[in-house]
Amino acid sequence: MSRHTYTPALLQNLNTFGANFERDDIIAIYYHAGYTVREIIGFLVTRHGIAIGERQVHRILREKQLKRRENQSSLEEIVRALLHELAGSSRNMGGTENSIARDIQYGLRWNHNDPFQGISSFIYGSSNRNTRIERFWRSLREMVGNTWIDHFKDLADYGIMDTSDMIHLECSRFCFLHLIDTELDGVARHWNEHRIRKSKNVDLPAGKPDVLYFQPETYLARDYKMPLNGNLVALERQYGQNPPVRGVSVEFEELAGHLIRQNNLVYTPTTKDEATELFARLTNLIAQVN
C-alpha cells in the first residue's frame, strides 16, 4: 500500500500540469481560488520553488485586472469548532473500533515528549462531549447525505432495491459509490479552501485550512504535526490492505463487468439516473442468471 500525503485539489492539478503554466498564470489560478497575496507567495515558494515579492504579485494581479474579492463560507463555524476539538488529545467514546484507534494512537505517540505523549494522547468521553463533530455530521447530511438517503429509500419503496439482499448491496456500491465519492470530495474541497474569520470569543487561528496545514506560520499558528519513527510504509504493507477500487468484491466486479460487456451497458455512469438504470439492469440480469 502506498503512503498518501494530503495535497489540496488545486495543488494536485498544478503539480501534475505545472509545466504547462507560466508563473503569472499560477498566480491567477491561486487568486481565483480565493487565496490572499501572502498565501499565494507562500505556495509559490513551498510548492513551486518560485521566489517573488508582494509588490510584484500585486502588479501581476493588476495587469490581469483581478480585483480582491471576499470568500466566506457557511462552514466557518464548523471548521473553527473542529480545530478547537483537534488541537490537543484525540477524544472518543468506548467500543471495539475505538479501542483499535486508541492503541494505534498510543503506539504512534509513545516516544514523543510533549504533554499529550503516549497514554495521554487519547481520551474517552461520552457522546454529549462530541457536539462539534455531531454538528458537522448534520451539515454533511444536509449537503450530501440526505439526497442519497432519500434516493435509496425511494428505490426500496418502489421495490427496485432490496437492502436485505447482499447482491443488491454489492451492486449499489458498484453503481453509486464513485458518484458519492465525487460529491464528498467536493465537500472536502469546499471545507479546506474556505476562509475562517477571526473570532473574538475563541482563541483560534483564522485563515484557510489548506494554508493553516501547509503554512501555519503565515497566520502565526503552530504546526501540530509530530515526527514518527520507524518504517511506517513497511508496517502498512504488512498489516494493511488496499480497499476495493469500486467498493465490491473481485468476484462481483468480474460478474458485473461481464454483464456490462455482454449487454452493452453504460459504465461508468456519470449521473444518478444513469447509475439507477445500471443498478436496475444489473440486478435483473443477475437474478436471471441465478
The answer to whether residues 28 and 80 belong to one domain is no
Q: What is the mean pLDDT of residues 70-91?
A: 42
256 domain residue, yes or no: no
The answer to whether residues 113 and 37 belong to one domain is no
Domain count, the chain: 2
The answer to whether residues 57 and 161 belong to one domain is no
The answer to whether residues 107 and 42 belong to one domain is no
Q: Which residue's C-alpha cell is 494554508?
A: 211
The answer to whether residues 165 and 30 belong to one domain is no
Domain-ending residue, one of 239, 268, 284: 239
| Spatial distance between the Cα atoms of 67 and 280, rounded to a whole number of angstroms | 50
The answer to whether residues 166 and 224 belong to one domain is yes
The pLDDT of residue 87 is: 44
- What confidence tier does 151 reach under pLDDT thresholds 50, 70, 90? very high
Nearest to 25 by CA among 69, 60, 70, 65: 60
* DSSP annotation of 242: P
**Cα angle vertex 158, ends 156, 164, to 5°?**
30
Q: What is the pLDDT of residues 4-18, one digit of tens each?
A: 444 455 555 555 444
282 domain residue, yes or no: no
Domain-ending residue, one of 239, 263, 280: 239
The answer to whether residues 42 and 82 belong to one domain is no
Nearest to 183 by CA among 154, 151, 225, 217: 151
The pLDDT of residue 61 is: 87
161 domain residue, yes or no: yes
The pLDDT of residue 83 is: 42
The answer to whether residues 57 and 172 belong to one domain is no
Mean pLDDT of the residues in the chain? 77
270 domain residue, yes or no: no
Rg of the Cα atoms in the chain: 23
Helix axes 131-140, 76-86, angle to 10 degrees: 140
Is pLDDT above 80 for 40?
A: yes
285 domain residue, yes or no: no
Helix axes 54-63, 23-32, angle to 10 degrees: 80
Is pLDDT above 60 for 70?
A: no
Is pLDDT above 80 for 170?
A: yes
In 176-284, where do the E strands start and end?
A: none
The answer to whether residues 58 and 160 belong to one domain is no
Task: Look at 16-30, 66-80, 209-223 and tell me which has the smallest mean pLDDT.
Answer: 66-80
50 domain residue, yes or no: yes
284 domain residue, yes or no: no
* Cell numbers placing 139: 451539515
Q: What is the pLDDT of residues 195-220, one digit of tens each?
A: 878 877 767 778 888 888 888 888 78
For residue 116, give its domain range: 76-239
Q: What is the mean pLDDT of residues 159-175?
A: 92
Is pLDDT above 90 for 172?
A: yes
* DSSP annotation of 207: B
Q: Do residues 125 and 94 make contact, with C-beta atoms less than 8 angstroms apart? A: no
Is pLDDT above 50 for 25?
A: yes
The pLDDT of residue 230 is: 67
Domain-ending residue, one of 63, 86, 107: 63
Task: Look at 50-54, 99-103, 130-134, 273-277 and tell me which has the smallest mean pLDDT.
Answer: 130-134
* Cell numbers placing 78: 464548523
The answer to whether residues 82 and 201 belong to one domain is yes
The pLDDT of residue 213 is: 86
Q: What is the mean pLDDT of residues 76-101?
A: 51
250 domain residue, yes or no: no
255 or 130, higher pLDDT = 255
Task: Look at 4-13, 76-85, 236-245, 265-274 and tell me which has the smallest mean pLDDT.
Answer: 76-85
The pLDDT of residue 102 is: 79
The answer to whether residues 223 and 138 belong to one domain is yes
The answer to whether residues 23 and 51 belong to one domain is yes
Is pLDDT above 50 for 71?
A: no
The pLDDT of residue 84 is: 46
The pLDDT of residue 13 is: 54
